[in-house]
């Protein structure tokens, strides 16, 4: 029985597509162990939204989907996208409406090289890489402004505008500078103001303006191409990296690969004001090539669940999860295939829970 004093959190679960449905149950298993230990409970409402629904009913989620999610304290999402449904349809039909409706303008993506991981990158030594990518999550290059004309003719044209607003960039920068200050103070801004003539000089200008309010934070800026190279060659030199929507997405996938596998990487789509639920999801996609085989790496989803607990105020429980992730990698040789092992998702999860 649940203690009367136990805090209950309502969690909306959206497994989504492909391996999304395989990595959320392990995250739930871990959450339930911790709830019991740390005196909270979670009640789940599961939504079968995604590409299969789109193919059956013509929409990734129902028309009142956002209203239904509004009731939740947090959302845990697996993955979206599957062959047969264009990727822009699946993303714009589910993930992006949730991010925007709930004003989740910060996409937080931590990257660590854990002990026991063989990074493909020479400069990525365990324990030395601990980076957080702070990605803008509501505007920038992910915009509906533009259009297509003259479909099928030789003069066919597609135009795509990026949208950067003073308010949207400033609130993200304030979050990133505050985080950098809390972590001990280093921030790198990803730009491309040598080639992108309007939006990126504006971005740089706003970074310089906001930096003046955070004199304790040492900051610099790098063009995204050079930054990508340095992320591979010297990942340990970075701490907090703030980036636009597209740059942040690319950089965090790259960083996750540097850390050993994109299967480990978590993400938090945060509404820092807490007016709306925030959403937590592994960085990886639906991985149709391995879906249904029971071999997906659950760590990205489990770490995302830790970020969710942290957001819900259960910091110690969140730390238990990241400690268990570190322990399963450092103290055992149980690994899923993306990490060079042959354990199934269930075997890897069981081993982690043993160490929790």
The contact set with ligand GGG (CB under 6 A) reads 79-81, 91, 249, 281-282, 284-286
Residue 162 Cβ vs ligand GGG, minimum distance, rounded to whole Å = 14
Residue 16 Cβ vs ligand GGG, minimum distance, rounded to whole Å = 6
Residue 336 Cβ vs ligand GGG, minimum distance, rounded to whole Å = 16
Which residue lies nearer to ligand GGG by CB, 69 or 211?
A: 69
Which residues does residue 270 pair with via DSSP β-bridges, in sequence order?
Answer: 106
Residue-wise DSSP of 44-56: EEE---SHHHHHH
DSSP structure class, residue 31:
H
List the structure tokens of 52: 């299969």
Residue 274 Cβ vs ligand GGG, minimum distance, rounded to whole Å = 22
Residue 75 Cβ vs ligand GGG, minimum distance, rounded to whole Å = 12
Taking each continuous run of H as one helix and of E as one strand, the counts in the chain are 12, 12
Q: How many CB atoms lie within 10 A of CB 186?
A: 16
Beta-sheet pairing, 106-112 with 130-136: antiparallel
Which residue lies nearer to ligand GGG by CB, 281 or 320?
A: 281
**297 touches 305 (CB < 8 A):** no
Q: Where are the alpha helices (DSSP H) in the chain?
A: 20-38, 51-57, 65-70, 87-90, 96-101, 166-182, 199-211, 224-233, 245-258, 299-311, 315-331, 345-354
Nearest CA to 112 out of 1, 255, 4, 248 is that of: 255
Which residue lies nearer to ligand GGG by CB, 23 or 240?
A: 23
DSSP structure class, residue 278:
E
Which residue lies nearer to ligand GGG by CB, 22 or 320?
A: 22
The whole-angstrom separation of Cα 10 and Cα 42 is 6
Residue 183 Cβ vs ligand GGG, minimum distance, rounded to whole Å = 23
DSSP structure class, residue 226:
H
**167 touches 186 (CB < 8 A):** no
The whole-angstrom separation of Cα 285 and Cα 120 is 21
Residue 36 Cβ vs ligand GGG, minimum distance, rounded to whole Å = 27
Which residue lies nearer to ligand GGG by CB, 7 or 46?
A: 46
When CB distances to ligand GGG are compared, the closest residue is 79
Which residue lies nearer to ligand GGG by CB, 30 or 80?
A: 80
Which residue lies nearer to ligand GGG by CB, 217 or 267?
A: 267
Residue 175 Cβ vs ligand GGG, minimum distance, rounded to whole Å = 18
Which residue lies nearer to ligand GGG by CB, 135 or 351?
A: 135
């Amino acid at each position: 029985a649940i203690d009367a004093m136990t805090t209950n959190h309502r969690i909306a679960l959206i497994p989504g597509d492909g391996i999304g449905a395989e990595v959320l149950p392990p995250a739930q298993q871990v959450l339930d162990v911790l709830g019991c230990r740390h005196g909270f409970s979670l009640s789940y409402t599961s939504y079968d939204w995604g590409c299969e629904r789109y193919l059956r009913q013509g929409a990734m989620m129902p028309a009142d989907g956002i209203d239904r999610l509004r009731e939740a304290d947090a959302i845990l999402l697996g993955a979206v996208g599957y062959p047969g449904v264009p990727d822009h349809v699946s993303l714009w039909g589910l993930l992006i409406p949730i991010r925007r409706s709930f004003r989740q303008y910060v996409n937080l993506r931590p990257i660590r090289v854990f002990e026991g991981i063989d990074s493909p990158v020479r400069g990525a030594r365990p324990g030395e890489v601990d980076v957080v990518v702070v990605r803008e999550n509501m505007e920038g290059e992910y915009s509906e402004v533009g259009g297509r004309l003259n479909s099928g003719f030789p003069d066919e044209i597609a135009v795509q505008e990026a949208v950067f607003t003073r308010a949207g960039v400033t609130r993200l920068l304030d979050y990133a500078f505050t985080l950098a200050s809390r972590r001990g103070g280093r921030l790198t801004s990803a730009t491309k103001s040598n080639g992108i003539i309007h939006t990126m000089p504006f971005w740089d200008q706003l970074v310089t303006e906001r930096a003046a309010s955070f004199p304790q934070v040492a900051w610099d800026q790098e063009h995204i191409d050079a930054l990508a190279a340095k992320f591979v060659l010297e990942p340990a030199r970075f701490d907090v990296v703030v980036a636009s929507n597209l740059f942040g997405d690319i950089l965090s996938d790259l960083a996750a690969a540097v850390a050993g596998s994109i299967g480990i990487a978590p993400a938090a789509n945060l509404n820092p004001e807490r007016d709306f639920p925030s959403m937590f999801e592994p960085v990886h996609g639906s991985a149709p090539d391995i879906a249904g085989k029971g071999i997906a790496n659950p760590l990205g989803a489990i770490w995302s669940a830790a970020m969710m607990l942290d957001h819900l105020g259960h910091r110690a429980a969140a730390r238990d999860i990241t400690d268990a992730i570190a322990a399963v990698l450092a103290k055992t040789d149980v690994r899923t295939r993306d990490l060079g092992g042959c354990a199934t998702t269930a075997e890897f999860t069981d081993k982690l829970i043993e160490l929790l």
